[in-house]
Amino acid sequence: MVRFPKKITVKLAQREGANALRSLIDNGHLIDFSSNDYLGFARDASLNERTSEILADKRKIRNGATGSRLLTGNHSYYTALEAKLAAFHQTEAALVFNSGYDANVGFFSAVPQRGDIVLYDEYIHASIRDGINLGNAKGFKFKHNSLTDLERRCKVERSQSTSNAEIYIVTESVFSMDGDSPDLKGMAEINEKYNCFFVVDEAHALGVFGKKGAGLIQQMGLEEAVFARIVTFGKAIGVHGAAILGSGSLKAYLVNFARSFIYTTGLPPHAIALISAVYGKLEEDNQTKKAQLHENINYFEQQVESLNLKSLFIQSVSAIHCCVFSGNDRVRSMAERFQNEGFDIRPILSPTVPKGEERLRICIHSFNTKKEIRKVLQLLAIFTEEV
């Protein structure tokens, strides 16, 4: 038998002991209250046809990118998509990465320099933390969505750091594990006051908020206030990949210095054409899907009220609604009960969220029916009474 290192055997055993061992499951047969496919694009068959049309136009068969984008991987579909993204998101330039993880790791490891400071929300996504850890700048967290703590931190850093230190302020416009949003306008004001650079991850806002689903920054007219936005295509867009939106100079810098952009094979033409096809749909008819999604979110909220469940939930107007049930055992068994009833609802365990804040993450979609939503919440009411 092939030997296995002792130290990692111990780590696995510790995870198991904490009932936090994750494994890969396929719940595809259950009713979806868990995926990030908020608008149902991942299951939209009409996109296959549109994608084929886009690919046929170019009359070139290339199944894979064949190299890094800096070598042979930069096919013409990229150029077309990046131009489309820049126009749609009202920004100077867009640079597509292989995933949101890659985009954040690439940006935060390469942009903030030694001596610079990154101030990030304590609940920021792991990809941003990993990027900061790989880079040379110092990172400090501020309390979740707290303008007071952010401003306090800015004051401290401005008084203590060298005069040429840049400060980056980072948040998500919709938090992935809470579904709530910061006061983006307030943050933009602090950003301006302390002469910082504002970076916003819009992974869970794209498709859900803003005209044509362009995101919260555009909904609030804050395009000029941000230095960079990260949009991801694996969530409401239903495909894979991500883009960093910003100036032409930022794009040029990332092409030259973001290692997760440079040292990897590009996305295949098919994936890029598919993303392009979904953006085409956002341009045309997203209002229907988006309107259905928001109707369902409103219905969910009404049912939460009428079943007296409000105190269980973290306040959210997004597609993500979470109720905290402290303890991996508890949240695991709760999710299992939902799955036994035919609903795909997943537990979010520690250490993904802080210990004691384990939760059920319920995602609402445009395609969920009112009956399904009602049933989920009725079950939740029953299950919580029993524990």
Ligand X SMILES: Cc1ncc(COP(=O)(O)O)c(C=O)c1O
- Contact residues for ligand X (CB under 6 A)? 99-101, 104, 125, 127, 172, 176, 201, 203, 232, 234, 242
Q: How far is the CB of 125 from ligand X (least distance, A)?
A: 4
Element (H, E) at 218: helix 216-219
SS3 323: strand
The helix (H) or strand (E) run that includes residue 10 is helix 6-17
Question: In angstroms, what CA-CA distances link 323 with 59, 351, 357, 360?
Answer: 50, 17, 9, 5
Q: Specify which residues 141 forms β-bridges with.
A: 120
Q: In what helix (H) or strand (E) does residue 324 lie, and over which residues does it extend?
A: strand 320-324
Shortest reach from residue 369's CB to ligand X, in Å: 26
d(CA 189, CA 186) in angstroms, rounded, equals: 5
Which residues are within 8 A (CB) of 366 and not within 5 positions of it... i.e. 6 or more apart? 38, 39, 40, 289, 290, 292, 293, 296
Confirm if 249 and 92 have CB atoms less than 8 A apart: no
Q: Is the peptide bond before 347 cis (omega within 30 degrees of 0)?
A: no
Q: Which of 312, 314, 324, 326 minimizes the C-alpha distance to 19?
A: 326
Q: CA-CA distance, 56 to 387, in Å (whole number)?
A: 57
Residue 65 or residue 380: which is nearer to ligand X going by CB? Answer: 65
* Nearest residue (CB) to ligand X, 277 versus 320: 320
Q: Smallest gap, in angstroms, from Cβ of residue 99 to ligand X?
A: 4
Locus of tokens 């055992």: 329
CA angle 304, 362, 122 (to 5 degrees): 105
Which helix or strand (DSSP H or E) is residue 231 part of?
A: strand 228-232
CA-closest candidate to residue 204, choices 227, 180, 240, 170: 180
> How many whole angstroms separate alpha carbon 75 and alpha carbon 51?
15
* CA dihedral of 337, 340, 344, 350, whole degrees rounded to 10: 40
40 vs 241 by CB, closer to ligand X: 241
Which residue, 236 or 242, is less far from ligand X as judged by CB? 242
Residue nearest to ligand X (CB): 100
The backbone torsions φ and ψ at residue 52, rounded to the nearest 5 degrees and listed phi first, read: -60, -40
Nearer to ligand X, 99 or 218 (CB): 99
Q: Which of 43, 181, 223, 298 is nearest to 214 (CA)?
A: 223
Cβ 306 to ligand X, closest distance in Å? 30
Q: How far is the CB of 201 from ligand X (least distance, A)?
A: 5
Which is nearer to ligand X, 86 or 320 (by Cβ)?
320
Nearer to ligand X (CB atom), residue 278 or residue 380: 278
Whole-number Å distance between alpha carbons of 284 and 241 = 22
